[in-house]
Chain A
Amino acid sequence: MKVALFIPCYIDQFYPQVGIATLQLLKRLGCRVSFPLQQSCCGQPMANSGFATRSKGCDNNFIDNFKHFDYIVAPSGSCVLHIKEHLKSETHPEEAAHIRGTIYELCEFLTDILQVEYIKASFPYKVGWHNSCHGQRGLYLSSMSETVSPEFSKPERLLNMVRGLHLSIPRRKDECCGFGGIFCISEEALSVKMGTDRIKEHELNEVDYISSADVSCLMHIEGILKRNKNNIKTIHIAEILNSKL
């Protein structure tokens, strides 16, 4: 199985450890993974700000890099959703369609394609889970509190395989953290208020870590935690699934 690793730009630049964990994890699970070297960004920052017409360059570059694989995997629900919904090409429509149909967020790839039943990992900490909206409501990584449907959660199922991990779910289990891309800048006060309120719930639960399947939410939450000298740390699910503590 030829798997391409897509490491979104801000993960590449600021959270390389998440990329490393994703790569190592996929390899341990038997995938032949390559990292196309000329990749950059999925184009979401432009599109969500209303400049989708400006993401053409990113689209073309993405198609160039990722057209020759069986699967594309990324540790970010938000970027994957963007590609799935908005990757377009006038010159290479078939390749774009192929990519849209074969790109997966890490948790859904492990669950639906690799059908992982066992992961050798241990992480003896109390971990508060944050459902990132795009992964959850866009990619259906888990059921959501709004709809009437059987409950499931792909990330929670994976985390429950980790030895020593104590999973903690906040009472408002799928409330947005307020990152929202451009929103975190244009609506700074509200964005921080939303993040602060999410953290409060995890604090009540006395978690050691807050984890999520999206680095962007974690970056925002981490920024607030650090500013307030809060001891809770953030960690991406790939790092937990790849950890042998």
Chain B
Amino acid sequence: MKTTHAALAEKFIANTAQTDWHDRTLWLVRQKRDKAVHTLPEWEILREWASQIKNHTLSQLSEYLSEFEQKAKANGIVVHWAADAEEHNRIIYKIIRKHNIQNIVKSKSMLTEECQLNKYLEQKGIEVVDTDLGERIVQLRKEPPSHIVLPAIHLKKQEVSETFHRYLKTEKGNHDPQYLTEAARQHLRTKFIESQLAITGVNFAVAETGGFVICTNEGNADMGAHIAAVHIACMGIEKIIPKARHLAVFLRLLARSATGQPITTYSSHFQQPGPGQELHIVIVDNGRSKHLGRKDFRNSLKCIRCAACFNTCPVYRKSGGYSYHSSITGPLGAILNPNTDMKASADLPFASTLCGSCSHVCPVKIDIHEQLWKWRQVIVAEGYVSRKKKTGMKIISFVLSRPSFYRFSGKAGRWIMRTFPFLLKNKLNPWFHSREMPEAPKQSFRDWYLKHKP
């Protein structure tokens, strides 16, 4: 069976209690975000600045990337370039081999998720411990994250408790969040102490300084990077910002949009390797420059991965991350994934009502819902659409563009509905599955108008 968003969503919704809980939990995050942004009268100005800074940067990306590389090297950072996921993984593997590293910790990085780094290293017999609490939970369960900021948001504390009981030997049936968090803390503490390599993501890389910033709430990126002898930071080419002072815009937007906090608990600046340490940066393309070349879609590279568009999206809230069947889920995944694999993601831009909430919540003003609309056009033009739908559209457009034909079929349609309502009230009509058909009036508005015209 082909797994489409619609089919997976239907499966998710079948559990109403879980769906409602998922919806409520994420709506709560959205409300926290609302509360936080309403404390800043300048919010819309900040969004506009962030958008412009990113637009500007994307327009001269190669220059800023070179500037960054040069400054980073001067700071003693080893800079690597990776054209795709495969190369990114290979670079990291090489560093691991060179130092004969056994113990690896990794803090949250959607890029390594995108590149399937853990799986790659696993196949080589190397284990990576995810140290973000949510990520560790899903890692133990052998699940992918369902949300880019809250990876385990699809799980209730009871499920976490069962997982921890199984893998961390916590008490069976103890669901107390504080107890469970403490258990995770103790478990991860030993991993940190033993670690020889810390892999992290990058939130912002500053061209003018050659340094970068990592934002976390748990401090796990810092803990890893400070203990391990080697630190590898992985970033997509779009993470660049030109100046350090631009952080003043982005750091204010990021945490408020993500969780409603004024700022993440840790916003850590890395400039150079610590004494006796090695610091690497892997700069990854993996389809981004192709994206940059798509005029209608390039500005999705402005994304700062706050996930506000996930939390606001009613489709996401009520269908869960896994219904997007890809590593980047939600509305963001729906506009990013078709770039790299259009066939596999052909259903995703259609998993939206185009309500537009995402575009207005987005702190960097990405026109998400307009891109969803445009992707639909591209997907149809490239032929990733069923023949049935194509024929259907041909007929509809034929009828609707010919007024007399339209009136005739409308009349015929209404007549059929009135006389034989069961004709349409059948299982083949998805509308009718859980909805009544509109009642068919005797006359159309036009019929009425012709009779009552002054």
- Residues of A at the B interface (CB closer than 8 Å) are 7, 9, 11-20, 23, 35, 37-41, 43, 45-58, 60-61, 133-134, 137-138, 144-149, 172, 174-176, 178-195, 197, 219-220, 222-224, 226-227
Contacts and interface: CB of A to CB of B under 8 A. Distances in A.
Interface of B: 5-6, 9-10, 13, 19-20, 23, 27, 34, 37-38, 40-41, 43-44, 312, 314-315, 318-319, 350-357, 359-361, 373, 376-377, 379-381, 385, 389, 393-394, 396-398, 400-403, 406-407, 410, 413-414, 430-431, 433-441, 443-450
B364 to A, nearest CB: 14
A180 B352 contact: yes
A40 B438 contact: no
A12 B445 contact: yes
B381 A148 contact: no
Nearest to A133: B355
Given A50-B377, A148-B38, A219 B438 contact: yes
Given A9-B400, A50-B377, A57-B400, A190 B445 contact: no
A137 B360 contact: yes
The majority secondary structure among interface residues of chain B is: helix
A194 B37 CA distance: 26
Contacts of A192: 433-435
A58 B407 CA distance: 14
A140 B406 CA distance: 31
Given A43-B400, A61-B403, A145-B34, A51 B353 contact: no
Contacts of B37: 148
A50 B379 contact: yes
Contacts of B410: 9, 12-13
Closest 6 CB pairs of A and B: A57-B401, A180-B353, A223-B435, A50-B376, A50-B380, A19-B445
A80 to B, nearest CB: 15
B355 A176 contact: yes
Nearest to B23: A197
Contacts of A18: 445
Contacts of B350: 50, 182-183, 186-187
Given A51-B393, A58-B397, A186 B13 contact: no
Contact of A148 (B41, B385, B389, B398): B41
16 contacts: A16-B443, A18-B445, A20-B445, A50-B377, A53-B377, A57-B398, A61-B403, A133-B357, A137-B359, A144-B360, A172-B27, A180-B355, A192-B433, A194-B315, A220-B435, A223-B436
Contacts of B27: 172
Contacts of B449: 19, 23, 35
Given A7-B445, A12-B410, A46-B396, 17 more contacts: A15-B438, A16-B443, A40-B403, A45-B396, A49-B380, A54-B394, A57-B398, A58-B400, A61-B401, A61-B403, A134-B354, A144-B357, A148-B41, A176-B314, A179-B353, A226-B435, A227-B436
A222 B377 contact: no
B262 to A, nearest CB: 15
B397 A185 contact: no
Nearest to A27: B454
The dominant DSSP class at the A interface is helix
A227 B434 contact: yes
Contact of B360 (A37, A146, A188): A146
Contacts of B435: 192, 195, 220, 223-224, 226-227
Given A45-B400, A193-B19, A12 B446 contact: yes
A109 B40 CA distance: 33
Given A53-B381, A148-B41, A187 B9 contact: yes
A226 B439 CA distance: 11
A184 B319 CA distance: 14
A51 B392 CA distance: 11
A178 B6 CA distance: 13
Contacts of A194: 314-315, 318, 353
A203 to B, nearest CB: 15
Contacts of B446: 7, 12, 35, 37
B85 to A, nearest CB: 28
Contacts of A15: 438, 441
A18 to B, nearest CB: 8
Given A48-B373, A186-B350, A193 B13 contact: yes
Nearest to A55: B397
Contacts of A11: 445
Contact of A133 (B356, B403, B443, B450): B356
Given A49-B376, A176-B353, A227-B435, A190 B13 contact: yes
A48 B437 CA distance: 22
Contacts of A174: 357
A232 B70 CA distance: 67
B44 A189 contact: no
Nearest to A176: B355
A50 B5 CA distance: 17
A187 B314 CA distance: 13
Given A12-B444, A49-B393, A176-B353, A187 B5 contact: yes
A137 B355 contact: yes
Contacts of B319: 190
Contact of B440 (A12, A14, A52, A55): A14
Residue among B396, B434, B448 with the highest chain A CB neighbour number at 10 A: B434
Contacts of B5: 187
Contacts of A226: 435-436
Contacts of B359: 137
Given A14-B438, A46-B396, A49-B389, A190 B6 contact: yes
